[in-house]
Amino acid sequence: PRIEAIELRRIEVPLVRPFETSFGRETVREALLVRVRTDAGDGWGECVAGRDPFYSSEYVGGAASVIERYLAPALLDAPAAGAAHAEPAGDARAVGVPLAASVAPALAFVSGHRMAKGAIEAAVLDAELRAQGRSMGEAFGAVRDWVDCGVSVGISPTLEELLDEVTGYLEEGYRRIKLKIKPGWDLVPVAAVRELMGPGGLLQVDANTAYTADDIPLLASLDPFGLLLIEQPFAEEDLATHALLASACETPVCLDESILDAATAVDAIERGATSVVNIKPGRMGGYLEALRVHDACRALDVPVWCGGMLETGIGRAANVALAALPGFVLPGDTSASSRYYADDVTEPFVLGTGEHSGQLRVPGGPGTGVAVREELVREWASAEAVVLA
């Protein structure tokens, strides 16, 4: 197939409750959706950048701009896949998606902007797989039909509200709780939630870079709470302090922001800075690089889990497919749509019941396997659609 047009659609979707992290508080998800039109049909992708450059240097306005000015023109001017851009060698699972595999090499001339690149690649992958009648799970190498789901719980105004929120999620069936922490909101909420869950409940924390090396003793004092992992306590660039913490505490250290691609994942593992990896495809430039990170971690026996960025159903569908790979041995931040949104731009993801309580089913239809409700994309638009052709 050939890419004929790339459309940028910005939407605002209200969150069912504010989501507060060490870097800010959001009440609305400002999402950037990308629709790719090919001669073999359309595909949708979701950019994981936030409204502001706080979690990452990328943000929605910057991603839209770099796509409009650099990325889309490069793809629209490129010859059909297979001609100029051969499929990268040695990448077993990209076989069969030559157009999607041609995207990253064609965009490599732009430095960084992985979230923007990843959104385009996801849309191309969706279009290409739909044209082939193959699901993302099948293309990625899924080994299960249902994935274990955790939930990421924001910083609360009070301990009481936190415990109410966590209680609700446990009643819904979530298999793991992740607490957002920051200096001043760490030991006390962790102790309270551990008490609520009992010793066997799966519990982990995410600091989103809010701590410094001076906090190593404090973070090590979380050890008695039996956490699954501590996610990204220090700055994105600072592998050394993560390695210091790892040698000073029992709780596994897990990197999120620092993992830019398979090479940085392997480097961080070899340096002892991470012993578990949060895989967020959007942060790594797309699902094909996420597969490489998965494979590299698996080869090193490092467990991975699927992160999330408050995705709408478009990004969620692809994340759930990815989380069905064998190396994803911990529950992901792949929560049901209702944890975020009263209404979604696709059919909602709903937790299973019975033996599938706390799980989401991997979509089986072609591409992402979900349908985009275009009337909602129009209704929720926060900017004019941009069509690049």
In this complex, which beta carbon is closest to Mg ion, that of residue 148 or of residue 231?
Answer: 231
Contacts of 48 (CB under 8 A, 6+ apart): 115, 118, 119, 280, 281, 282, 283, 309, 311, 315
Taking the alpha carbons at both ends of the chain, their separation in whole angstroms is 15
d(CA 113, CA 91): 22
Are β-strands 24-38 and 41-47 bridged in parallel, bridged antiparallel, or unpaired? antiparallel
- Show the tokens assigned to 287: 């699902």
* Per-residue contact string for residues 254-283; x = within reach of ligand OSB by CB under 6 A: --x---------------------------
In this complex, which beta carbon is closest to ligand OSB, that of residue 87 or of residue 206?
Answer: 206
The window from 3-11, 28-36, 298-306, 308-316 that contacts ligand OSB (CB under 6 A) reads 308-316
Q: Which of 117, 178, 182, 280 is catalytic?
A: 280
Closest by Cα among 334, 258, 256, 324 to 291? 324
Pick one of 1, 282, 285, 308: the residue that binds ligand OSB (CB under 6 A).
Answer: 308
Closest by Cα among 191, 185, 201, 223 to 150? 201
We find the least distance from the C-beta atom of residue 202 to Mg ion, in angstroms, to be 16
3-state helix, strand, coil in the chain (%, to 5): 40, 20, 40
We find the least distance from the C-beta atom of residue 309 to ligand OSB, in angstroms, to be 5
Q: Is 180 a catalytic residue?
A: yes
Side chain identity at 344, as an amino acid letter? D
* Per-residue contact string for residues 198-227; x = within reach of Mg ion by CB under 5 A: --------x---------------------
| Residue 310 interacting with ligand OSB (CB under 6 A) | yes
Binding partner of 126, given Mg ion, ligand OSB, none, CB within 5-8 angstroms per partner class: none
d(CA 122, CA 316): 12
Pick out residues in 145-174 that bind ligand OSB (CB under 6 A): 152
In this complex, which beta carbon is closest to ligand OSB, that of residue 21 or of residue 251?
Answer: 21
Q: Tell me if 233 sits within 8 A of 256, measured CB to CB.
A: no
Pick out residues in 60-119 that bind ligand OSB (CB under 6 A): none
Using DSSP, state whether 371 is helix, strand or coil: coil
Q: Is 280 a catalytic residue?
A: yes
Map tokens 């306590």 to a residue. 233
Pick out residues in 207-246 that bind ligand OSB (CB under 6 A): 208
Please count the other Cβ atoms lying within 10 Å of the Cβ belonging to residue 244.
17
Binding partner of 269, given Mg ion, ligand OSB, none, CB within 5-8 angstroms per partner class: none
CA 192 to chain centre: 28
We find the least distance from the C-beta atom of residue 102 to ligand OSB, in angstroms, to be 29
| Residue 368 interacting with ligand OSB (CB under 6 A) | no
Opening angle at CA 330, ends 325 and 322, nearest 5: 25
Closest by Cα among 138, 48, 137, 151 to 359? 151
In this complex, which beta carbon is closest to ligand OSB, that of residue 131 or of residue 318?
Answer: 318
Binding partner of 309, given Mg ion, ligand OSB, none, CB within 5-8 angstroms per partner class: ligand OSB
In this complex, which beta carbon is closest to ligand OSB, that of residue 152 or of residue 251?
Answer: 152
Binding partner of 258, given Mg ion, ligand OSB, none, CB within 5-8 angstroms per partner class: none
In this complex, which beta carbon is closest to Mg ion, that of residue 178 or of residue 194?
Answer: 178
Pick out residues in 238-277 that bind Mg ion (CB under 5 A): 256
In this complex, which beta carbon is closest to ligand OSB, that of residue 43 or of residue 307?
Answer: 307
We find the least distance from the C-beta atom of residue 152 to Mg ion, in angstroms, to be 8
Q: Which residues make beta-bridge pairs with 83?
A: none
Count of residues that interact with Mg ion, criterion CB under 5 A: 3
In 111-234, which residue ranges form alpha helices assigned H by DSSP?
114-132, 136-140, 159-172, 187-197, 216-220
Q: What are phi and psi of 94, to 5 degrees?
A: -75, -10
| Residue 203 interacting with ligand OSB (CB under 6 A) | no
d(CA 95, CA 72): 23
Tell me which residues touch ligand OSB (CB under 6 A): 55, 152, 206, 208, 256, 307-310, 333, 335
Tell me which residues touch Mg ion (CB under 5 A): 206, 231, 256
Q: Please identify every residue annotated as catalytic.
A: 180, 280
